[in-house]
Amino acid sequence: MAAKIKIEKKILSENDKIAAAIRERLHQNNIVSLNFVSSPGSGKTSLLEKTIGYLGKDIKIGLIAGDVQTENDANRLKAAGGEIVRPVVTGGACHLDARMISKALENLDLEKIQMLFIENVGNLVCPSSYDLGEDMKVVLMSVTEGDDKPLKYPAMFRRSSVMIINKLDLLPHCDFNMETARQNALKINGKFKIFEMSCRTGDGLDEWYSWVKNPKI
Amino acid sequence: MHELAIAESIIKTVLDEAERRNLGPVKKIAVRVGALTDVVPDALRFGFEAASADTELEGTKLEIKTIPVVGKCRNCGKGFNVEEHIFICPVCESFDIEMTTGGELDIEYIEADDRSI
């Protein structure tokens, strides 16, 4: 006869175990890690280009650039001055998982870096379930996407610690209400640290730079 | 469509557990899915059917229990159901809310012949 057998195990326990090991290794090496998530085209790569261009002189940053296909983003980050860039091509998978990060870290000398930036696959749904061992998630949205984005993707916005609203320079051309966007985000996550910027014009980037040097919530 | 990857994780975990515990064929798998996980039950069921085909779990029933999002106010301690993903305390209007349930992605139990009994 069939018996009911208690399992009580997280479905992603395998991923979480690997993520915990990554987190421990990064902390042992005093490395701060950020996982950048957004829809495709919100400006993750642009933000990272700017950030490594500015911080790269003083802080050694390791970069893991995830994409479904191509190493284009990784190449952009190298061109922007990223010395330690590891591309991860998922070959169709819609998110990065901890195993991919663990593999990417295999040939990355952790003693040489002080920060690790992970650029996730452009997707606001799937990456929310996967812990990569990062200290915090940074979620980007841009003014061309609509101010209700946080309401549409609550899981991702709830799990992120920082929100960036990018492409401020396009604000005059969009039906985007900044105050509504902020309120929508704070309804989901009252502790959000919010930055407004334009990676294109540089507007708002100074505030971001001074925070990201020593990111704390 | 990460439900396929989630389904694969369910299958791997269940097959490992069944082997470790020396169980017979698994008839049913019961999972808990929090309402704030972006995992769609129908897509998960579809992913499970696809991923379990030609494995020992082909035809196994997947029961999905959706767990509502419940919050607790860190300011006044009030527990409440989070409606429409709005994490604001209905009593003191604080935004500082701990999510107590709604993020689950768990395998609760399975039904199988227990050969050890």
Residues 1-30 of chain B with CB under 8 A from chain A are 1-2, 5-6, 9-10, 12-14, 17, 21, 23, 27-28
Could you give the CA distance from residue B53 to residue B74 in angstroms, rounded to a whole number? 46
A200 with A167: CB under 8 angstroms? Answer: yes
Residue A213 lies in a domain: no
Six-digit token string for B70: 């419940």
pLDDT for B103 equals 95
Q: Which helix (H) or strand (E) holds A208?
A: helix A205-212
Closest chain A residue to B85, measured at CA: A188
pLDDT for B1 equals 65
Residue A3 lies in a domain: no
pLDDT for B116 equals 66
- Residue B117: band (very low, low, confident or very high) from pLDDT cuts 50, 70, 90: low
B34 with B103: CB under 8 angstroms? Answer: yes
- For residue B108, pLDDT over 90 is answered with yes
φ/ψ (deg, to 5) at B16? -65, -45
Question: B116: closest CA among A51, A68, A196, A3?
Answer: A3
Residue A88 lies in a domain: yes
Mean of pLDDT values over B98-113: 96
CB atoms within 10 A of CB B76: 12
- For residue B43, pLDDT over 70 is answered with yes
Q: Are B38 and A97 inside 8 Å of each other by CB?
A: no
Q: For an interface test with A, give the residue of B8, B14, B23, B38 to mutate (most A CBs within 10 A).
A: B38
Residue A6 lies in a domain: no
Residue A4 lies in a domain: no
Nearest CA distance, B52 vs chain A (angstrom): 15
pLDDT for A217 equals 78
Residues 19-78 of chain A with CB under 8 A from chain B are none
Could you give the CA distance from residue A118 to residue A115 in angstroms, rounded to a whole number? 10
- For residue B35, pLDDT over 80 is answered with yes
What domains sit in chain B, N to C, each tagged with a CATH number? 3-67+101-114 (3.30.2320.50)
φ/ψ (deg, to 5) at A66? -95, 135
When divided into structural domains, chain A yields a total of 1
Residue A65 lies in a domain: yes
pLDDT for A93 equals 86
Domain hosting A180: range is 13-207
- Identify the segments of chain A with pLDDT beneath 70: none
What pLDDT digit, counting tens, does each position of A72-106 carry? 999 999 999 998 999 999 988 899 999 999 999 99
Residue A212 lies in a domain: no
Could you give the CA distance from residue A132 to residue B59 in angstroms, rounded to a whole number? 33
- The CATH number covering residue A72 comes to 3.40.50.300
DSSP code of A4? E
Question: B44: closest CA among B10, B89, B78?
Answer: B10
